[in-house]
Structure formats: structure tokens, C-alpha cells
């Protein structure tokens, strides 16, 4: 009854495809009858982090609160899919440490796409505003992004379809026995 | 795999015995092989709510964040035992609404002891400071406490031992079929 869950932590620039892959992965994991919870900005901003902006301090607080929630969910058996830019190595490493303290696996997925590519997608119109100087502290434009030096997985979303990226993550989870191998019938 | 958990929400003055009962209840529920998570000030203050003080606005934010976490835990099958002064009816009622939206039961426990009794216990030495005017916004002294008009349970800790109070809560959970009846062997 008390086996831990696990965490898949998607990090990358705005528009790199973090949430897209997380949503697809969620569907696959739900089909396997796992308890799954996604966490992203849209989900937490209404209550958990609504007082926070985009300064370095606020971004760190943001991930600190997310980490608290993620740790508890992982402790209690939930497959927790976290997608935030989370630009700082130290903050992501702390999330990993906390999750590991619950004996839960932490899988860091670097969702890798260049600023140019993300800006050309510009789904939310944010890059345009950032380049025009209308948004301060925009990651990749006016705020640093620290690439993960040793992520478990890199999804190169400039070259992979979302199905391919999702399969890479799912295959990793199976290979590492974080989820059971699916028996084909 | 996806049955919800439930929430036992302890509300009452500082020193009324909320956490004492929650800790005892946690032991009982763990013995029944349930997933259990306690949430109280000591647990959340380090990360989730460390920026908050004791003004009305901060207290509301505090419970708002707790509610977010509580809801997620209840959604994913965890017996969540929450002990906070949580002095406002509206904020507790919102927690109930959110938890119920996950089809999880919400049991409000009013841990009832008079200010005089709590002050005479004064385990943390806070009442002395509050009466001396050294702490602002101290519930029951210089900040209001809104008693629950219709809690599921009242524990009168002036007259009950902690074992008695815990048994009252446990019996309620069994009676309402929130946890299975324990078979005596």
C-alpha cells in the first residue's frame, strides 16, 4: 500500500513542448491504471503560486512550492508529471533530492528546442512581447536558462514529433522498471 | 486504483489539541494500512508558506495553499489530516467544497477548548506573549476565531483525554463508512 510513485520533471524554454509531452504521457499512464497528476503553471497559478512573478526570487519560491507538492504526491504513490521552465540547476537538483528522500525515482527530461524555434512557434505570443521588451525576465531572452548537464532524457522537439518524444519517455520508464513493461496481447 | 481518500480537518485555538489528536489518529490509520499524510504548521512552514505571517490576508493565503495540497492528496487516495487554527468559516467551507469536488469526504473536527484553558496550558508560551501584547493578531486574544456552526465532530478537550477524542473521530469515520469497520479477532 505504501510504495512510492515517481516524478517526471520536464524542464525547458517556454514553448519547447513540455506540457504537450506531459499531457500525452499522462494519457498513456492513465491507460495503465496508474494514479497520475500533472502539475504546470496553469494548474498551480490559481492558488498555490498566484502571488509570484518572474524575478529570480519568485521563480525559486515557485519551484520550492511545486517541489513540496511533488514530494508529497510521489511519497503517496502518484506518478507526478511536472512541467515548468524551472531554469535553475540548483532548484531542480533540490527537487530531485527531496523526491529521492521519499524513495521515489526522479526523471529529469530536458525538452530541448532553441530560442529561435520556440520563438517561431510562439504559441502564446510571449516571445514577440519579450523581444519587444514588454515582458521582463523572460527565460531565454532576458533571463538565463541553465541547461541540465545530465538529464535522464533529452527530447529534441525541433526534430521529434510529440508522439516520438512521449515514446522516448515511456520507453525509459519501462527500461528502468519505473513502470511495468506493457504486455502486448 | 482511483478511489479518493478523505480529509479530517481539525480547527480550533492554538493549544486546543488539534495536532495531538491528529498524531494519535495518524497512528491508528497507519495501522489499518491506509496512506496517511498529516499537514500542520510545522510541516508546511519550511517551504510552502514560509513567506506568510498572521494577518487576515496571510492566514487566508496560508489555508488556500494548504487546501490546494489537501485536495490533491485526497484526490489520490490519501487520508489527509489537517490541523490548523483556520479561524474563518468561509475559508474552511471553501476547503470542504474543493475536497468534495474530488468526491472525497471532508470531516470538520472542532477542537473545542476555551481561551482560558488553552492559555493555562500555554505549551509554546505564546498566550503569555499575546496577553502581554508582544504578538499581534493572536487568535482568541487579539484576532477572531469563528467557531464552526455545524462541524461533523466536536472534541471537547477540556473534558476528554486525547485517547477519548481520537476514539470519537475514529468511530465517526467507521460509522460513516469512510474507513472500513475494524474486525476484532
Predicted confidence pLDDT, tens digits, chain B (185 residues): 578 999 999 999 999 999 999 999 999 999 999 999 999 988 888 889 888 888 889 888 999 999 999 999 999 999 999 999 999 999 999 999 999 999 999 999 999 999 999 999 988 899 999 999 999 889 999 999 999 999 999 999 999 999 999 999 999 999 999 998 877 66
**Residue for grid cell 518572474:** A54
Interface of B with A in 135-164 (CB under 8 A): none
Q: Does B3 touch chain A (CB under 8 A)?
A: no
Q: Are B12 and B113 in contact (CB under 8 A)?
A: yes
C-beta atoms of B47 and A67 within 8 A: yes
Residues 6+ apart with CB under 8 A from A167: none
The hierarchical CATH code for the domain B6-175 is 3.40.50.300
* CATH T-level topology, domain A6-113+145-175: Rossmann fold (3.40.50)
For chain A, which residues make up each domain, given as ranges?
A: 6-113+145-175
Q: Is ipTM strictly over 0.85?
A: yes
Provide the whole-model pTM: 0.93
Q: Are B71 and B55 in contact (CB under 8 A)?
A: no
Q: How wide is the angle at C-alpha B153 spanned by C-alphas B147 and B159, nearest 5°?
A: 85
- The A79-83 sheet, strands edge to edge: A36-40, A79-83, A6-11, A105-112, A153-156
C-beta atoms of A35 and B61 within 8 A: no
Q: Which residues of chain A have a CB within 8 Å of the CB of B69? A: 48, 68-69, 72
Strands (E), A33-174: 36-40, 79-83, 105-112, 153-156
Amino acid at each position: 500500500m505504501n510504495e512510492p510513485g515517481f516524478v517526471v520533471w520536464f524542464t525547458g524554454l517556454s514553448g519547447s513542448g513540455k506540457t504537450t509531452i506531459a499531457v500525452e504521457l499522462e494519457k498513456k499512464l492513465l491507460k495503465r491504471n496508474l494514479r497520475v497528476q500533472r502539475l504546470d503553471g496553469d494548474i498551480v497559478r490559481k492558488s498555490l503560486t498566484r502571488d509570484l512573478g518572474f524575478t529570480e526570487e519568485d521563480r525559486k519560491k515557485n519551484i520550492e512550492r511545486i517541489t513540496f507538492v511533488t514530494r508529497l504526491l510521489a511519497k503517496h504513490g502518484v506518478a507526478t508529471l511536472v512541467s515548468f521552465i524551472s531554469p535553475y540547476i540548483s532548484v531542480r537538483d533540490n527537487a530531485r533530492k527531496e523526491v529521492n528522500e521519499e524513495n521515489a525515482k526522479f526523471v529529469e527530461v530536458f525538452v530541448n528546442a532553441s530560442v529561435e524555434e520556440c520563438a517561431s512557434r510562439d504559441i502564446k505570443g510571449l516571445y514577440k512581447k519579450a523581444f519587444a521588451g514588454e515582458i521582463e525576465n523572460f527565460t531565454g531572452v532576458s533571463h538565463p536558462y541553465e541547461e541540465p548537464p545530465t538529464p535522464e532524457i533529452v527530447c529534441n522537439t525541433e526534430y521529434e514529433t510529440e508522439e516520438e518524444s512521449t515514446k522516448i519517455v515511456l520507453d525509459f520508464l519501462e527500461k528502468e522498471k519505473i513502470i511495468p513493461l506493457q504486455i502486448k496481447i
